[in-house]
Structures are given as structure tokens and as C-alpha cells.
Amino acid sequence: MINLSGKIALVTGSTRGIGKATAQRLAEAGASVVVTGRSEDRAGEVAKEIAQSTGAKTFAVGLDIGSRESIEGAIKRINEEMGNVDILVNNAGVNRDTLFVRMKYEDWDEIIRVNLTGTFLVTQLVVKGMLKKRWGRIINMSSVVAFIGNVGQANYSSAKAGLVGFTKTLAKELAPRNITVNAIAPGFIETDMTENLPEEIKQGFLSQIPMNRFGKAEDVANVVLFLASELSGYITGEVIHVNGGLF
């Protein structure tokens, strides 16, 4: 059984979906977990829920991944209240889907700023503590669309592909300090977004998945747990695909 007692985990965008399932799973393994979201009130509700169900220590902080000032303030509070982060899961992100010929500059800029630059900023601040400890786990949430593309997601696919290059480069730079850096590329996962899709669109996606079902947030969270643990200590710079055989 994986034991993360004594470790502090920060999961960005953890008030719902994959992020929430990940925070829950890490807490179940004994980690102290920081829950973040744009709404600190909502983050607080989720943190309380996780603490009550697992007995783990939790902390909630408002964090807008698209704002440098918000990121800097949140990391400062986390360091003061919880200590330096051992496990960082860069999960927060947004999408602004539209066909490329109709895509506005603002649609492109926001996705790159939030999904890619936001991850860079959070990681750069958090990694300082890992370097001091000479131990750390960084897990970046990419996407299957970084590898296969998707109509209407030129911006999102580019940002998620950028995270793969970021992961592989950082893995080489940080390996001498016993810090691993890996990425997960989920396929179609049951979330609020997929739940609201028209039935014919859902069936179209399902027809492409050999396992003939959408993944669950827990399917991704389980991989995060493995990558956060000592079991993955000799794995770095990798992308693990969680997509039911889609790619």
C-alpha cells in the first residue's frame, strides 16, 4: 500500500473532476493536501470534505492559474501555512474551443497563458522547496489531444503539447536532485464537460475508444498516486496515457 505520510501535496484546480479525485486519493494515502480553485470558498468546502472522509490534513487557497499575482500569493500562503510542497500536480486548466479560422487572438492567448504559462509559474515557485529537500514529484496534466489533435482545439492541443516538452526538459534538469517530472495524458474522462455533450457527440467519441466507455476521474487519480510515490522513483520524463486504448 502506498504511504505518503509526511508529504505535502498541492493539486491545482482540485475543486472538481480529475483534480478533486486526485486530491482525495493523495489524502487517502496519508498526504497533507492543498486544495485550490478560483473560489476559495468552494476550495474550502472540498478541503473540509476530504479531511472528514480521510482524516488527512488539508488546506484550501484561492488560486487563479491565469494570474501571476494570484499564483505568487497562493504559494506564499501555502509555504507559510503548510510548508514546502513535496508533490505538485499541475491539473488546473481551461478550454476555449472554436475552429481555427474563427479563433480570436484572445481565445489563443488565454489558453496558452493559463494552461502552459500558469503551470510554468506555479512549478518555478514550488520547485525551490523541492531543490532544498532534494526530493520531489511533479506531475503535469497533458491530454490525448496533444498527440492526436482535435477539431476546434488548436489552442488547447498546443498548450497541452507544450506541457509534454516542458515535462521532458524539466525531468532532465531536475533529475540530479531526485525530483521526478512526468505527465499524464487523459483521454475522454467523465467530467462536467462530457456530461453536457449531446448524445450523438458522446456516441461518436465512444466509437473511437476500444474499451467502449469514458474514463473516470479515479482512473487518472490512480496514476497520479503511483507517480507521486516511491514506486515510481526511477521514472521521469515520461507521459502515461490513460485513454482506454484511444491512442
The single residue of 35, 56, 119, 156 carrying the catalytic annotation is 156
Q: Looking at this protein, which amino acid is placed at residue 4?
A: L
Q: How many CA atoms lie within 13 Å of 180's alpha carbon, on the beta-carbon side?
A: 20
In this structure, what are the phi and psi dihedrals at residue 35, rounded to the nearest 5 degrees? Answer: -100, 130
Residue 156 annotated among the catalytic residues of the structure: yes
Q: C-alpha angle with apex 144: 66 to 163, nearest 5 degrees?
A: 40
Q: What is the gyration radius of the CA atoms in the chain, in angstroms?
A: 17
CA distance 226 to 63: 26
User: Residue 192 to residues 104, 155, 184, 233, 244: CA-CA distances in angstroms?
Assistant: 25, 20, 20, 33, 19
| Active site amino acids | 156
